[in-house]
Amino acid sequence: MRQRRWWRSMGAAGMSEQRLFEDRAALDRSLAEHIARQLQEDIAQRGAASLAVSGGSTPRGMFTCLASQVIPWDRVHITLVDERWVDASSPDSNERLVRETLMRGPAASAHFTGMKSGHDDADHALGEMNAKLERMPLPFTCVVLGMGNDGHTASWFPRAANLQHLLDPESDLLVGTCNPVTAPHQRMTLTLAAVLSATDIILHITGDEKRAVLEQAAEKHYPVAAVTGQYDNEATIWWAP
């Protein structure tokens, strides 16, 4: 399918690079191939690569495409951008989604680091989770973000009490916790500092409604604006209707 080249400017915060497609199947295939190339290049340069992915319905097709890419998956370390504080068997678990859709076929040999521990409260697991992620090949090769209709990405939710802490670009933490006001479940999430350190930041979204939200992100101070123009390392936007 033909790749679209343009949509209108997103306003004062500047404009991230955009890769826009006519349909979601073309987006899924192209994005999967792009990520596989990035991982392969990092493996060639430093012997290992790392990938942080988001949950939700948007990345399912891309995960299936990515799982079939033939690269040295045993040298790839996968983690999550964020996780709900639920058991890994829960339908709400991002870990479950990744294991069922991405870590299949050739990709089954990849190493996975989850964000959920046995602690009742995510805050009690913060030190453990930071230590676990620090053992991955860092900085991340690719971080694949999604976005909600409220302008959140990762688990950086509008109105969250510690949002500014999570969005501190100078933070020494890889992960933090969030108790969303507008969504269920406590969360563990990558910090903005961790995301900005990545070699390749990808914002993977679909649909006209999310496109409209993104275009207003800077003006309305949505959390996603932190990766679409506020700092030098911006996300590349991958979109289809």
Give the tokens for residue 32: 């999967």
The ranges of the chain with pLDDT < 70 are 1-15
Tokens 């890889």 belong to 174
Architecture of domain 14-240: 3-Layer(aba) Sandwich (3.40)
Task: Tokens for 148, please give them.
Answer: 């909600």
Q: Quote the pLDDT of residue 122.
A: 98
- Rounded to whole angstroms, the Cα distance separating 163 from 103 reads 31
Over residues 63-80, the pLDDT tens digits come to: 999 999 999 999 999 999
Residue 9 and residue 232: Cα distance in Å, rounded? 18
Sequence-ordered list of residues with C-beta below 8 angstroms from that of 166, at least 6 positions apart, any chain: 154, 155, 156, 160, 176, 178, 189, 191, 192
User: For the chain, what are the domain ranges?
Assistant: 14-240
Which SS3 state, helix, strand or coil, does residue 156 take? strand
* Whether 228 contacts 235, CB under 8 Å: yes
What pLDDT is recorded for position 104? 97
Residue 224: predicted pLDDT: 98
Report the C-alpha gap between 218 and 14 in whole angstroms: 9
Cα dihedral value 155, 235, 80, 184, nearest 10: 20
Q: Mind listing the pLDDT tens digit for each residue in 126-173?
A: 999 999 999 999 999 999 999 999 999 999 999 999 999 999 999 999
**pLDDT given for residue 5 in this prediction:** 39
Type of residue at 99: R
| Confidence (pLDDT) at 15 | 61
**Cα–Cα distance for residue pair 147/210, rounded to 1 Å:** 8
CA nearest to 156, candidates 127, 195, 102, 209: 195
CA geometry: angle at 178 spanning 156 and 18, to 5°?
Answer: 15
pLDDT at 41: 98
Q: Are 112 and 80 in contact (CB under 8 A)?
A: no
pLDDT of amino acid 16: 82
Quick one: angle between helices 60-67 and 24-46, nearest 10?
Answer: 50
